[in-house]
A and B are shown apart, each in its own frame.
Chain A
Amino acid sequence: MRTIEQTTQEVLDLATKHFQLPAGSLAPEDDFFKKLGIDSLQTLELLSRLENHFAIELPDYEVQGVSDFKTLAERIQSRL
């Protein structure tokens, strides 16, 4: 099973690739709304990609109030 560190790195890698950013430009503590400048529809798209990648379901209410990659990874980890 993945460690939280592995999960966090995969979340960062997926977001980096999806939003076509230079490698290493995202950090676990980054606020993804501010850093990526995404709207609600793009957030849902990111959610779908994360769900497909990790083969989980991540209900929106579990990410309510979550804005950094590290906490997002923790929510994902609890579904693995």
Chain B
Amino acid sequence: MKSFTGKALRWQWRDGIVEMTLDHEPANEIGTAMLAELQQFVASFGELAPKTHVCIIASAQKAGFSAGADLRELYHGAAALPEKERLPGVRDFLERIHAVLNAIDAAPFVTIAAVHGVCFGGGLELALACDMIIADKMARFAFPELRLGLIPGFGGIPRLKRDLGNAFVRDLLFTGRTVNATRAQAVSLVAQLAGEGEALRIARSTAAQITKFDAAARATAKKFIKPIPHEELRREIDLFCELFARPAVMAALKKFVEDAGPMPYLP
């Protein structure tokens, strides 16, 4: 499908470049609706791949690229079930989102995340599945999961370890803090910095450059440079589920969902 408009995202193919735009209020939280349309998106790769050089993923939401997993949906969905019935649903969601992000990670075309605003948790995991992150200088990145008694569950740790130095990875995970785009570029999380509001324009300019080169050589280089850590990704799902089973997690999710303060992202 060359174009699609859904409730949470849309995409459009033109001249060898597909642009996928996340557009789900308020901040592209990744819940069941977003996941279903992401699955449709990757299902279209078979048709798109032979004529696609680059895929750009961007956001139309002012708040940013994505604030991560839909914690409100997660909490309310889990709270509605008896305790022993919660984990199968969580595992199913994780396996589905992992399949989506693995498909993006392994896509034969180049993938660029054009990031502005917040890029947290699952949103950062979506960006990390891409080959490049081009970030607006006002963008901020975080893995806040430890604040909730969890670890990143959408493949964040294996991909961070693959791509970045461990000192920064440990700081990011253990403090749960947000970092700005300038720092993110200094540690090679971000490939290119853009001026405020310019990430998508620069992603398009970068995509135009990429389309000049041989597709087969590019696909070969990508496979060689970027192995997918399948075993660690599977292990991450197991660890996430083990942690989610603890009562402290539901308590932390409840606190986050009910927090009316100005900084709910802080512990």
Interface residues of A (CB under 8 A from B): 33, 38-41, 43-45, 47-49, 51-52, 57, 59-61, 64
Contacts and interface: CB of A to CB of B under 8 A. Distances in A.
Contacts, number: 54
Interface in B222-267: 262-267
Contact of B138 (A48, A59, A60, A61): A48
Given A45-B138, A48-B180, A61 B175 contact: yes
Contacts of B203: none
B128 to A, nearest CB: 20
Contacts of A61: 175-177, 266-267
A79 to B, nearest CB: 12
Contacts of B64: 41
Given A48-B180, A57-B179, A59-B177, A43 B138 contact: no
Contacts of A59: 175, 177-178
Interface of B: 27, 63-64, 117-118, 137-140, 175-183, 262-267
B262 A60 contact: no
A40 B262 contact: yes
Contacts of A51: 180, 182
Contacts of B181: 48
A60 B177 contact: yes
A39 B26 CA distance: 13
Majority-rule SS of A interface residues: helix
Contacts of B177: 59-61
Nearest to B62: A41
Nearest to A64: B266
A39 B73 CA distance: 21
A40 B179 CA distance: 15
Given A48-B138, A57-B179, A41 B263 contact: no
21 contacts: A39-B262, A41-B27, A41-B117, A41-B118, A43-B262, A44-B178, A44-B265, A48-B139, A52-B137, A57-B179, A57-B180, A59-B178, A60-B178, A60-B263, A60-B265, A61-B176, A61-B177, A61-B266, A61-B267, A64-B266, A64-B267
A44 B266 CA distance: 11
Given A41-B63, A57-B183, A47 B263 contact: no
A48 B140 contact: yes
B22 to A, nearest CB: 16
A10 B249 CA distance: 41
Contacts of B140: 44, 47-48
A48 B135 CA distance: 13
Nearest to B137: A52
A52 B195 CA distance: 12
A57 to B, nearest CB: 6
A33 B262 CA distance: 7
Contacts of B267: 61, 64
